[in-house]
Amino acid sequence: MPDACCSSERLFLNSMLMKIPRGNLHEIEEPLFFRETLFDIGIHNLGDGHTPVETEIVVHSRGEDFFLDGQVRTTLTLACDRCLVEGIYPLEGKLRVWLVSMVRPDLETDEDHVMVLAAQQLEVDLTEVVAESVYLELPQKTLCREDCKGLCPSCGTNLNQEQCGCETGEIDERWSALLQIKQKLENE
């Protein structure tokens, strides 16, 4: 097993990548804890790459197959979609992986990731699966706050911080047909 240190009664694996020796999978009884950075797991586009990504995994043996059930936690620096101000957002996601020696039709994998282990494979690398979990938990829309006013479309002023003197009543004539439809629907 990789070098390990005990801290707060948790076993943290100090590997440069999130790898588990295949031969040890049957022996693992306690949860595994990995602590890597965003850069270490291949994420280079979500803020500070030195931000830690903590992963907790419980290994369940199912004969020759294994089910890994866990959590991924980190914080990300993301820009608000309306005003572009960066903020720190906590992220927590599930990690569910089946490790199988061969694909079987009876394996229920609706929301789970399946990794087929080759006979000669000596270790299980979870780096990509953890990175995928981070990406899947990204919010569809990032807002600094629910009532974010965004930027002025004319001058670019952050309307959360100050008001600008731009006219807001002028409607682009390309949208006039939609405005007419809206007014017609409101009158019905």
What pLDDT does residue 63 have?
Answer: 78
Q: So where are the chain's domains? A: 4-136, 150-188
Question: Residue 24 contacts by C-beta under 8 Å, 6 or more apart in sequence?
Answer: 1
Do 50 and 38 contact (CB within 8 A), yes or no? yes
For 17-70, write each residue's pLDDT tens digit: 788 887 777 778 888 899 998 988 888 888 778 889 999 999 888 877 888 899
State the Cα–Cα distance between residues 61 and 37, nearest whole angstrom.
28
Q: Is this model's pTM higher than 0.75 or not?
A: no
Match 């931000």 to its residue by tokens. 51
